[in-house]
Amino acid sequence: MTFSIIARCPRSGQFGVAAATAMPAVGKLLSHAAAGAGAVASQAQVNPYLGLDGLALLRQGLSAKAALERLKGTDPCMELRQCALIDTNGDSVCWTGDKCIPWAGSLAGEQFSVQGNRLVGPQVLDAVAEAFRHAEKRPLIERLIEALAAGDRCGGDRHGESSAVIYVVDQEEYPLWDIRVDHHLDPVAELRRLHKVFAREVLPEILAMPTRDNPAGLAAEDSV
């Protein structure tokens, strides 16, 4: 009941996850990403530990493929799950269990993977991937928004979407972007609106916060 995209930006090194689904609050358990390590999307009949443990394995330096093999040994119901991972090299892998509700599958591209279940058909993934590729010169956050919008226009979840999320990490342990629409008649349009609000009012605050290299942060420096 979800389509999602995980990606790495080769210019900035940022990792991102974006998704839309018919259920409320898709961002709560699906989206996982860590700076310098990778990203994971856990969906279908969700096992939250596939996302949490998958990200931990990527942090340890495992490749996406090796991490997935480890994860498959931890869950006795993998046939019900869909799980996608991308690693620090931008290599991706996706598992779609045999019992995921059709249409279900994935599409891998350069530095990204698109996956979904209970979709109107594979054309949703094609649309998401094409929009992401077409916007390759734009920041990762904008590429992810355009990718979600394209999947939504193509039919998306065959029951219609009610929630959406975009989660992007840059250099710090906290996210650069964390935009969630938990319940809305048009969650992708609302996500686009919130992106403009966040860009204007939230992003400047994030960029001024303390970092590992500068514990004072720009805001503290400006106040001295």
**Domain topology for 2-208:** Glutamine Phosphoribosylpyrophosphate, subunit 1, domain 1 (3.60.20)
Q: Residue 8: what residue type?
A: R
pLDDT over 90 for what percent of the chain? 92
| Domain boundaries along the sequence of the chain | 2-208
User: What is the torsional sign of CA 180, 183, 187, 190?
Assistant: negative
Contact criterion met (CB below 8 Å) for 92 and 85: yes
Tokens for 164? 């959406």
Tell me what percent of the residues of the chain surpass a pLDDT of 70. Answer: 95
Contact between 109 and 132 (Cβ < 8 Å): yes
Strands of the sheet containing 163-169, edge to edge, are 105-109, 112-117, 2-8, 15-21, 163-169, 177-181
Question: pLDDT at position 224, please?
Answer: 46
pLDDT of residue 153: 92
83: which 2 tokens? 């799980």
pTM comes to 0.95
**Nearest-angstrom CA–CA distance, 152 and 178:** 20
Q: What is the mean pLDDT of the chain?
A: 95
CA atoms within 13 A on the CB side of 73: 4
Residue ranges with strand state E in the chain:
2-8, 15-21, 31-34, 38-44, 81-87, 92-96, 105-109, 112-117, 163-169, 177-181
Confidence of residue 1 (pLDDT cuts 50, 70, 90): low
Radius of gyration (Cα) for the chain, nearest Å? Answer: 17
Asked whether residue 134 carries a pLDDT value surpassing 60, the answer given is yes
Closest Cα to residue 43, out of 54, 58, 31, 56?
Answer: 31
Contacting residues for 65 by C-beta, under 8 A, at least 6 apart: 91, 93
Which residue's structure tokens are 């493929």?
65
Helix axis angle for 187-201 and 140-153, nearest 10°, is: 160
Per-residue model confidence (pLDDT) at position 185: 94
